[in-house]
Structure 1
Amino acid sequence: MSKKINTTGALVVGAVMGAALAIGAYSFLGQPTGISSDKASAGGEKKPLHWVAPMDPNYKRDKPGKSPMGMDLIPVYADEGGGPDAGPGTIKISPEVVNNLGVRTVKVQRKGLHMEIKTVGYVQYDEDQLVHIHPRVEGWIEKLYIKAAGDPVKQGQPLYEIYSPALVNAQEELIIAMDRKNQRLIKAAEERLSALQLPRSAIRELKRSKKVKQLITFFAPQSGVIDNLNIRQGFFVKPGTTLMSIGTLDQVWVEAEVFERQASGVVVGDLVSMSLDYLPGKMWQGAVDYVYPTLDPKTRTVKVRLRFNNENDMLKPNMFTQVVIHAKNTENTLLVPTEAVIRTGNVNRIVLALGEGRFKSIKVKLGRLDGQSAEILEGVKEGERVVTSAQYLLDSESSKTSDFKRMNNQSNDDVTVKDVSAWTEAKVNSLMANHRMVNVTHGAIPEWDWPEMTMDFIVSQSVDFSRLKEGMNLQIEIQKVAGGNVEVVNVRLPDAETPAPMDHSQHQMPAEPSSSHVNN
């Protein structure tokens, strides 16, 4: 019997402990995810307006749950106002949700922008040191000492032999002048041979031997590498024919292109780093030598010329290179991380962190960009915090009602009532008294870029709903409120000269809309 009693007592104790654990688990897990623990414990629990899907703000529910993608819905709270940063589009989320979304913020800083322009280029000969070989007379190439382009040559090395009747006649004229001992004719004949590029050594040999040479050898004017070889043995050539070119490899050019928007940051003298695929890990240091004055109309790029020293002739013409132009630092300017900028087709936006879980999407004017930072010309101030992670989720909710203007912390009203409210002519089509809603056809609203249309509005508690009648023509003041909704906050009836009374605090603290509201 005692054994049975002990067993029964153990079961009772176990049941009591299980119930206690269940109650504790429910009190912990049953707490709504969007409400912070400090607010819940304070007794003044603040309820969300609704819950939205993280990836689709148009998916709204009146209680926690899952989105169609299986993600937890995010609570959205009505902005309490009371602060200078409150304004259209300001959203508020709990600290737990901020942490779960991984929201990160950084301060707007004022410092110099270090631009690094990355592009590609091709190695070319230094054309300042490139020599082109042309004949001064007609003739036939009887012997060619150069076999192929790319052959190295030394200064004074023979290049080709040519037979030219014009050179033969010029030599005979010098011999005749010498036989007559006419110094003026001798000087004229020597100058003609020099003008025909006959080497000085050949002229001296001709004066000594007085024998005309049928074949004249021409020599390399400098050391280098043969390029653009256009002749072969036996070719007939004439003045203007480019026989070959000789380029040096002590220094090389790299021709690169930069986009039109980057061209203003490139100036002569900027340092340049270069790497090549065929020598991984090796870097060359050079400088911008010239910025071409014209823009390619097809590629919309500007060509720049870079100069590099070429030790051991490691850089070969026509090699493909990756270059980084280190543009000079700009003057101090407002900078934010590039990932903080939300770029759309029409405007650029960032999400401001206003503190206490409040965020607002605002429009900014972008300047120059580098690899990590973006210059902000208008829209933010130094020291403000911007969101760099999860900003797209916050922007998708804030942008539905935001005026995209930053709110100043000054006493002067840079954002007036007309930014959040507007008057318009309207006709009452139907009334839904149980929901304090009205269906109206209103005129165009230029302030909000709204056309004339028919839609449902919630009527604010400050408006006497009983004065509204179906078919009535009147003027209504509508105001944007949190959650993407618009309310009727004031009316002018046909027989009234003054507006119906309203609570002007509604501009800063809009009434919490009912769960049956209609989205704007």
Structure 2
Amino acid sequence: MSSHTKTFITLIVGVALGAGALSFFQPSMSPENNSEAMQSAEKEPLYWVAPMDANYRRDKPGKSAMGMDLVPVYAEDESSDDFGPGAVKVAPHVINNLGVRTAPVEVKRMHTEISTVGYVKYNEDSLVHINPRVDGWVEKLFVKAVGSTVEKGQPLYTLYSPQLVNAQEEFLIALKRNNTALIKAAKARLETLQISPNLINSLEKKRTVTKNITFYAPQSGVLQALNIREGAYVNPAKTLMSIAQLNQVWVEAEVFERDTALIKAGLTVSMTLDYLPGKEWMGEIDYVYPTLNAKSRTLRVRLRFDNKNLELKPNMFAQVVIHANGVENTLLVPKEAVIRTGKQNRVVLALGDGQFKSIEVMIGRVDQESIEILNGLNDDDVVVTSAQFLIDSESSKNSDFKRMTHEEMPTSVWIQGEVNSVMKDARMINITHRPVEAWNWPEMTMNFDLADSINVDTLQAGQSLHFEVRKTDEGGNEITVIHIMDQAESESEPDHSSH
């Protein structure tokens, strides 16, 4: 016994309370089982196998390549082999002691939730920068600090500028001359320089130039930036201040690269914040940035949320859940059923009658409870959800990690071999054949029944054959077509030489 097997049995003994766990791979030796074993001994063996190599099979007793006696295999022992290498059988009381639980594979809509974090920001679509249209000096400043609330039409600052004085004088000259074209052009210039309509009307009525011009807030909001003080010299290149609105905010978040295929603009997003526990905001993805962060391997997304009560404030930390569009008819298993090793993903398949096998699966999306299975399972399968690591450790020692059921095995195969003897009266033939991968057969010598369509008289010892074998309803193996390799044609179907 290998050290791996000893370790596995030690684990089973600890969990299964003593001697009962020693029957992990076969039924416990109760009087009834002893009776069954005696009956099995009286049955004809299917074949003999090497104790240390399950692929070394012969149709009669003998020695293995290592000099060990071959072990007979009976029909009841063959049940695990029906599912391919790696299938193990667990006694019912051991299943109970281990707490083995199973769950059926489900086909349903998968609702994918992508959890991440983000930071609240101003909505830059509504951000307004204020620049002067002329050179000048700030005479008076009505807003003093960043974060101050401003209302639309509220005075912001007063500016003295020779260019503004000249523009007013030109308008007065045009009025004095009563030249309609000049009046229109001069008035348009004042509007371009952002002189308020009230001041233009006052200028037209009073015919008096105002040296210090007051400028007003174009929208309500909060002061996001303030770059001037009273007495400062300004010009059109300088941004004096910025006004942002908070009735709608952005939240910038990042998602991992593996989730980027699920992200698109318009998806629904829910958000919670630590400072208001229990409250949830609903929004949507506003924009998906076109590039990935090379260092963190994440994709930046911009979310939009309504903020009517102004509870969301810039730079707040938020927990975000993106609700990706679900896919109908998705094959799902419980999250805990999948064994993820890094190089391979697999589940332990419950085959029935206490039999289990580890098989490889290809996984897709993962949510909080389920994992999508892209390949490896059918919708009528049952998987193990607890204690599967113990079963997997034994099954994976010699498992091919491929699912194999009776329905998936072909009912007929083509084989090559050499005739050892022909039993004409019994319509049987003894052949040493090459390995049959489709049926998991190694190279061995065995008897085959002959179909009624086969002419027994054409067969003799020493012939090389290419023949088709099918499984009978009684569990036997019957040759239905034969092609004699050293003859020009087959007795039953001469055109099968292409197989």
TM-score past 0.5 threshold: yes
**CA distance in 2: counterparts of 1:368 and 1:374, whole angstroms:** 6
* Inter-partner Cα distance in structure 2 for 1:159 and 1:284: 34
* Partners of 1:295 and 1:320 in 2: CA distance: 22
Contact 1:407-1:415 within 8 A present in 2 as well: no
Closer, same or farther: CA 39–498 of 1 in aligned 2, 3 Å: farther
- Decide whether aligned partners of structure 1 residues 359 and 189 sit closer, same or farther in structure 2, where only a CA change above 3 A counts: same
CA contact (8 A) 2:136 2:235 kept: yes
Correspondence 1:373 to 2:373: no
Note the 1:291-306 alignment, pairs <5 A.
291-306=288-303
Contact 2:20 2:94 in 1 (8 A): no
Shift of 1:308: 1.7
Per the alignment, residue 169 of structure 2 pairs with 172
One of 159, 177, 190 as aligned partner of 1:162:
159
Alpha carbons of structure 1 residues 42 and 298: separation in structure 2 relative to 1, 3 Å: closer
CA spacing shift, 1:182–1:144, aligned 2, 3 Å? same
* Shift in CA distance, 29/313, structure 1 to aligned 2, threshold 3 Å: closer
Kindly state the Cα deviation for residue 305 of structure 1 after the two structures are TM-superposed: 2.1
2:121 counterpart (119, 124, 128) = 124
**C-alpha distance in 1 between matches for 2:30 and 2:84:** 23
Identity %: 54
Against the structure 1 CA distance between its residues 218 and 90, is the aligned structure 2 distance closer, same or farther, given a 3 Å change threshold?
Answer: same
Which stretch shifts more, 252-261 or 298-307? Answer: 298-307
After superposition, the Cα gap between the structure-2 partners of 1:29 and 1:388, relative to the gap in structure 1 and judged at 3 Å, is closer
Partner of 2:145: 148
Deviation per CA, 1:387-413, whole angstroms, max 9, x where unpaired?
111222222221221111111331643
Q: Distance in 1 between matches of 2:364 and 2:408?
A: 29
3-state SS, counterpart of residue 129 of structure 2: strand
| Cα distance in structure 2, aligned partners of 1:178 and 1:214 | 19
Q: Which amino acid aligns with 2:218?
A: P
Q: Give the distance between the partners of 1:320 and 1:159, measured in 2 at CA.
A: 32
After superposition, the Cα gap between the structure-2 partners of 1:207 and 1:478, relative to the gap in structure 1 and judged at 3 Å, is same
Equivalent residue for 2:382, pick from 368, 382, 385: 385
Within-5 A mapping of 1:26-425: 33-34=22-23, 36=27, 40-44=31-35, 80-82=77-79, 85-410=82-407, 412-413=409-410
Residue 238 of structure 1, CA deviation: 1.5
Shift of 1:148: 0.8
Deviation at 1:230, TM superposition (A): 2.0
**Cα gap change, 1:183 to 1:411, in 2 (>3 Å):** closer
- Aligned residues of 2:81 and 2:87 also touching (Cα < 8 A): no
Q: Deviations over 1:475-512 (max 9, x none)?
A: x9899xxxxxxx99759xxxx9989xxxxx9xx9xxxx
Q: CA deviation at 1:270?
A: 2.4
Contact 2:136–2:159 (Cα < 8 Å) also in 1: yes
TM-score (norm 2): 0.69
- Structure 2, gaps ≥5 residues long: 1-16, 39-72, 416-433, 446-461, 466-470, 476-499
Shift of 1:217: 0.7
- Is the 2:27–2:33 contact (alpha carbons within 8 Å) kept by the matching residues of 1? no
In structure 2, how many angstroms separate the alpha carbons of the residues matched to 1:370 and 1:414? 40
User: Following TM superposition, by how much is the alpha carbon of 1:84 offset from its aligned partner in structure 2, in angstroms?
Assistant: 7.7
CA shift in 2, pair 1:134/1:330, >3 Å: same
Unpaired runs of 5+ residues, structure 1, are: 1-27, 48-76, 419-475, 480-486, 500-504, 509-520
Residues 497/283 of structure 1: CA separation in 2 closer, same or farther (3 Å cut): same
**Pair 1:330–1:39, CA change in 2 (3 A):** farther
Mapped partners of 1:288, 1:219: distance in 2: 34
Q: Which moved more, 1:251-260 or 1:297-306?
A: 297-306
For residues 414 and 252 of structure 1, what CA distance do their matches in structure 2 show? Answer: 66
After superposition, give the CA deviation of every residue in 1:44-92 in whole Å (9 maximum; x if it has no partner).
4779xxxxxxxxxxxxxxxxxxxxxxxxxxxxx9992236842111112
The answer to whether the 8 A contact 1:407-1:414 is kept is: no
Secondary structure of 1:386's aligned partner: strand
> Could you tell me how far apart the structure 2 residues matched to 1:396 and 1:415 are?
34
8 Å CA contact retained: 1:408, 1:414:
no
Q: Are the equivalent residues in 1 in contact too, given 2:80–2:355 (CA < 8 A)? A: no
1:243-283 deviation line (CA, Å, top 9, x unaligned): 22212222222121222221222333322211101111111
* Preserved contact between residue 21 and residue 94 of structure 2 (Cα < 8 Å): no
Q: Deviations over 1:283-319 (max 9, x none)?
A: 1122223333333333322222222221321111111
Q: CA deviation at 1:156?
A: 0.9
Classify the secondary structure of the residue corresponding to 2:309.
helix
Report the Cα offset of residue 96 of structure 1.
Answer: 2.4
Aligned AA (2:382): R
After TM superposition, give the deviation of residue 211 of structure 1 in Å: 2.0
Offset at residue 414 of structure 1 (A) = 9.8
Report if aligned partners of 1:39, 1:46 keep a CA contact under 8 Å in 2.
no
Instruction: Give, in whole Å, the separation in 1 of the partners of 2:281 and 2:175.
Output: 59
Other structure's SS at 2:202 match = helix
Shift of 1:206: 1.6
Helix, strand or coil at the partner of 2:83: coil
SS in 1 for 2:77: coil
**TM-score of the two chains, using structure 1 as the length reference:** 0.66
Contact between 1:84 and 1:408, CA under 8 Å: does it hold in 2?
no
